[in-house]
Structure 1
Amino acid sequence: MLALTACASDGPFEGESPEGASGNDTPAERAGLGFTRDGALERVSPVGGERARQAEAARVVRELWEVAGARGAPGEVWTFDYQVHGGALTLLSFRRTSVGVGQGAGGTVEWSGFSRELTRSLSTLAGVKPRRLRFTLKRGPERWRFDLETVRGPVAVHARTVAEALPGASEPRVSDALTVARQLLPASRVPWEGRVHERARLQFEGLRLLQEVELGVFEVQEGSGRRSAPGSADLRMPVVQALLPFANAVGSRTVEVELEGRHVRGEAEPRWRVVAATTLEPTAPSEGMEDIAREYRAMQEDILRHWRQEVEDSARRAGVWSFEQLAYWYVGGFIAKGALGAMEAVAPTVAAVLGKGGAKAAQWFRTVLIRTPPAEREALQRIWMKAEAEGLMALKAGERAELQSLLKDMEHRLRAPITDKYSKDKLREWARQEYFEVHQPRLAQALGKDLLGTYQVHHLVPIEHAHLFPTRSINAAENLVGMAREVHSSVNSVWTFVRTNAKHASAKEVEEIARITHKHFGRWFHVLYDPSKSGAALASAEKAALKEVVAVLGL
């Protein structure tokens, strides 16, 4: 009922119909998918499920084993904090809280025994409600013992919200981690029969661990330092296995790690372990950016899910998200990744508007996307998906050049009239939906089912003149007014006169004419219309408005 067209004032209202435009719509757009009130992403089909939650539990047990269980000594105690959300389990931090009595003491713990009890019940114990879980692992002489408790803390912004069977670490992820581990394990710096402690900060971007490492404190805690224990590449694997679980999160994030290097008498090489790691909480977004940040994180997670599943079919990829979802994703991503500065040279208007952030910037960019040809939308989506999943540095020179070209074309298109029927129909459809559902729901209720179809949604500055105001959203709330069909016919007569007599009206003239229509017809905006009381007044208003328009145009 609300999908009827909104007015563009560039022709008879009854002559425009959105039905023919649906061929270019994505399935998500036709389904009306957007975001729920809490910022979650609406989806065409359900995701997650019991099997996915069991896979999450099995992965967590493997992470506990690779970080602590496989090399733990009797007496060691570790804590692991995970965020639970929708059945998904995201590692937040771990720490060794007690040191063991020495490697090799006590019996050997086998993987099968370590995993059997915990895997069986973990998916049920974790549940799906947002909360933080703390695993405490205590190494006895023969086995590990486990405790599980809920701890206080906000929902981590980088946590996943959809349970899934995550694939194993890919070759690029392992290669990244090996490169980072090489920087963390400096050659010949563990004293003979000594111990060192190191602290550093690492950066994750989507699925990738960036290779820039911020080295911090390095101190020798035992040993004279006169002689160093030799090292080899094999020493890096325990560090790699401790870093990889942090790649299973969302967005850009910083992980602070603490490492211990120890050389034991009688052994040829030192041992390195990550004894603590914590994902640092990012700075809270400003009040105006809260909505963008929330919706952007939802899109980030969906992007990473599809990227991990290696969805290469561009037609499928293009139909997964609505224009609303894509707009929030692009705006949030361009800001979060610091891409706006590089965009200024080729798309200064786009960079300026998006730099303001907030829902208004996303709404504006949605109108830009709808004016972008489908092939270019798909190309932009393909490139930015890679940037989201692997970081801007992962883009090749050709992809960077293509991205700049796409943005340059967007900039040029902002100053060209909107001529294609699909774009105009879609803008009208959105205008009508948002006007009655978001801006004027009480008017929609007062009109009722029968009268609602007779009311028009009009753009004060018509769609045909949108190019004169490139930084404004043509569908902004202040540019939309609802009116009865009779009123709309009179307003349209004014713009038809302008179209006939001033084909190239300036921005100043268009603004003045919009002000004139508001002045003379404003009493009938956003209200129920009674033709028995307003017929004569409406005719007089049209006559007066036309007289003023003639003066503005100098006719």
Structure 2
Amino acid sequence: MTRSDSRGEASWHRMPPVLGLLWVFALAACASDGSFERESFEEATGDDTPAERAGLGFTREGALERASPVGDERARQAEAARVVRELWEVAGARGAPGEAWTFDYQVHGGALTLLSFRRTATGQGAGAAVEWSGFSRELTRSLSTLVGVKPRRLRFTLERGLERWRFELETVRGPVAVHARTVPESLSGASGLLVSDALTVARQLLPASRVPWEGRVHERARLQFEGLRLHPEVELGVFEVREGSGRRTAPGSADLRMPVVQALLPFANAVGSRTVEVELEGRHVRGEAEPRWRVVAATTLEPSAPPEELRDLAREYRAMQEDILRHWREEVEDSARLAGVWSFEQLAYWYVGGFIAKGALGAMEAVAPTVVSVLGRGGAKAAQWFRTVLIRTPPAEREALQRIWMKVEAEGLVALEAGEQARLRSLLKGMEHRLRTPITDKYSKDKLREWARQEYFEVHQPRLAQALGKERLGTYQVHHLVPIEHAHLFPTRGVNAAENLVGMAREVHSSVNSVWTFVRTNTKSVSAREVEEIAHITHNHFGRWFHVLYDSSKSGAALASAEKAALKEVAAVLGL
């Protein structure tokens, strides 16, 4: 017998798919910024290069670079103590002699993330009561020396004897789980919201009066965790009666939900969107008034690995998620200020990954179609493009967006109230409008130029920087083929994309600038087509001096001729 739970999807209350998070990383790797030359978007440079991933404040392993260390010895001890409590709540407190369980955890940096557990043998009878103090003392002693900090999977095996539990701990093979935390924390108990989520889910999992008298039932279901919350909707699967006739059922009460709730709560201590598949057993024993319900197995489903070329992006987005959740657990108010220590690059990677992973792009399309069209392509270049969008967003609006999206990361889109949803749409609409508005504020223009110079010499052309040397490097300029003042005519392209940046000597830059000064002083406005033509003219006439050392003694006369010819062609384009 099977049953399923299907509900309509509201625009801001959409339940993410099982593999939703890494869908963003499986997008076509060929997505890129459009070239400012005559290539189409698809024909422009396709593969992401280290240029788009450099200088973002991430370590080689994808973790965030931090000013001060996190996760001390006290936090690692707290992780071990929490795991002992989880083993007790799921298995130890109610185990019968002969019962056996396995629990798999991911260790990373001393943090312990529950991956799965399963009852491997059922028990019978009632041996001597096991006290929490004895259970925790023995297991904690083992953990203190065996957990470590290196990335690996650990398996706890618990077997219940007549008087106590016996434990074994071993390393098992398996990839590093993408939803695992990497920073140990002294986690507090489950929040009231999470417990409420779990009670709501448990109510759906435990059907009223469905356990046969002196019988046993088995049930499967899939649950969706989002940040620190458990989604209230449940995908119900197989429900079958394994013992008992079903003619008479055992009465139930709300108290039956607590063992189920306690088994679900540990899976909230992970990162991102994840699906947990659970198996439950309901059993009624002769002489007892009510049936007993237990979660006898639970597994976090592993998403498919992203393509090799997108794994850096995947790790970086995960790192941002973890940092948000860590601060959110500590104090929500401080989390709102967290973004102040992040770079625009880090924020852009976080937003691009989050908008797609949480299924928000569809709801955004009506108010921000250009933003959606670029971010929907995914990849590092989309993040680099969105960085230029963020720099053009007023500080108050950036802070408002950060506050709203941090709540989404911690609790999911469903947690946003109507006012927050409206504010998010308003913020995105403002971004869309500014994409087609000239960049006029000095801060934005200076920041874009600063990034362009840094990335050009440190990432795109480090050999040229080395050849110039420290003294001569200051005399070389980084020029935008299509100037910043015309970036609004090309809203889907990155003004700081590698193909729009060229390095040249100060003398060459002066001549190129004379062309754009001529444009500025002879016409009130130019079209996108005219800007592209003028950019081609400057490339054709001055391109020989791009990305190379300049020798004025050999090129002075040629430069003057190039400027004269370029001005003549530009005048023709403008109809002058």
User: How high is the TM-score relative to the length of structure 2?
Assistant: 0.89
Q: Which whole-Å CA distance do the structure 1 matches of 2:389 and 2:320 have between them? A: 19
| Paired residues for 1:152-231 under 5 Å | 152-231=173-252
| Counterpart for residue 140 of structure 2 | 119
Tell me the secondary structure at the aligned position of residue 333 of structure 2.
Answer: coil
1:193 is paired with a residue whose SS is coil
Q: Does 1:528 align with 2:545?
A: no
Other-structure match for 1:249:
270
Tell me how far 1:501 sits from its aligned partner: 1.1
Residue 337 (structure 1) aligns with: 358
Which one of the candidate residues 88, 95, 99 is aligned to 1:72? 95
Secondary structure of the structure 2 residue equivalent to 1:257? strand
Residues 118-137 of structure 1 mapped to structure 2, 5 A cutoff: 118-137=139-158
Q: Secondary structure in 1 aligned to 2:332?
A: coil
- Deviations 1:470-505 (CA, angstroms, capped at 9, x unpaired): 000100000001111111111111111111112311
Residue 425 (structure 2) pairs with residue 404 (structure 1): yes
Query: Where does residue 10 of structure 1 map in the other structure?
Result: none
Amino acid at match of 2:377: K
Residue 139 of structure 1, aligned match among 139, 160, 185: 160
Q: In the alignment, does 2:436 pair up with 1:415?
A: yes
Question: 1:314 and 1:256, CA in 2 relative to 1: closer, same or farther beyond 3 A?
Answer: closer
Give the distance between the partners of 1:437 and 1:225, measured in 2 at CA: 73
Offset at residue 460 of structure 1 (A): 0.5
Instruction: Tell me what 2:124 maps to.
Output: 101
Q: Which moved more, 1:416-425 or 1:316-325?
A: 316-325
Q: CA deviation at 1:140?
A: 1.0
From 41, 51, 62, give the equivalent of 1:39: 62
Q: Do 1:291 and 1:358's aligned partners in 2 also have CA atoms closer than 8 Å? A: no
Q: Distance in 1 between matches of 2:225 and 2:190?
A: 14
> Partner residue of 1:444?
465
Instruction: Mark the runs of 5 or more structure 2 residues left unpaired by the alignment.
Output: 1-54
On the 8 A contact 1:201/1:216 being kept in 2, the answer is: yes
1:450 shift after superposition: 1.8
Moved over 6 A (4+): none
Shift of 1:314: 7.2
Alpha-carbon deviations, 1:129-185, whole Å to 9, x = none? 111111111111111111111111111111111111111101110000001001101
Query: Is 1:270–2:270 an aligned residue pair?
Result: no
Deviation digits for residues 458-477 of structure 1 (CA, Å, limit 9, x no counterpart): 11000000000000010000
Change over 3 Å in CA distance of 1:123–1:534 after alignment to 2:
farther
Distance in 1 of aligned mates of 2:75 and 2:143: 13
* Residue 447 of structure 2 is aligned to residue 426 of structure 1: yes
Instruction: Assess, with a 3 A threshold, how the Cα gap between structure 1 residues 79 and 314 changes in structure 2: closer, same or farther.
Output: closer
In structure 2, the residue matched to 1:89 is: 112
Contact 2:339 2:347 in 1 (8 A): no
Is 1:301 the counterpart of 2:337 in the alignment? no
Given that residues 189 and 228 in structure 1 are in contact (C-alpha distance below 8 angstroms), is that contact kept between their aligned partners in structure 2? yes
The answer as to 2:357 corresponding to 1:346 is: no
Q: How many residues align?
A: 522
1:283-298, aligned counterparts within 5 Å? 283-286=304-307, 289-298=310-319
- Correspondence for 1:280 among 301, 310, 317: 301
Question: 2:328·2:335 contact (CA, 8 Å) conserved in 1?
Answer: no
Q: What's the CA shift for 1:118? A: 2.1
Task: Provide the secondary structure at the position in 2 that maps to 1:319.
Answer: helix
Alignment of 1:356-371 (within 5 A): 356-371=377-392
Per-residue deviation at 1:82?
0.4
Provide the secondary structure at the position in 2 that maps to 1:132.
strand
Q: Contact 2:219/2:238 (CA < 8 Å) preserved in 1?
A: yes
CA contact (8 A) 2:220 2:278 kept: yes
1:196 Cα deviation from its structure 2 partner: 0.8
TM-score, scaled to structure 1: 0.92
Residue aligned with 1:256, SS: strand
Displacement of 1:416: 0.4
SS of residue matched to 1:150: strand
1:505 aligned to 515, 526, 529, which one?
526
Say if 2:324 and 2:410, in contact at 8 Å, map to a contact too: yes
Deviation per CA, 1:275-316, whole angstroms, max 9, x where unpaired?
A: 000000113335665443222111111111111112314773
Partner residue, 2:21? none
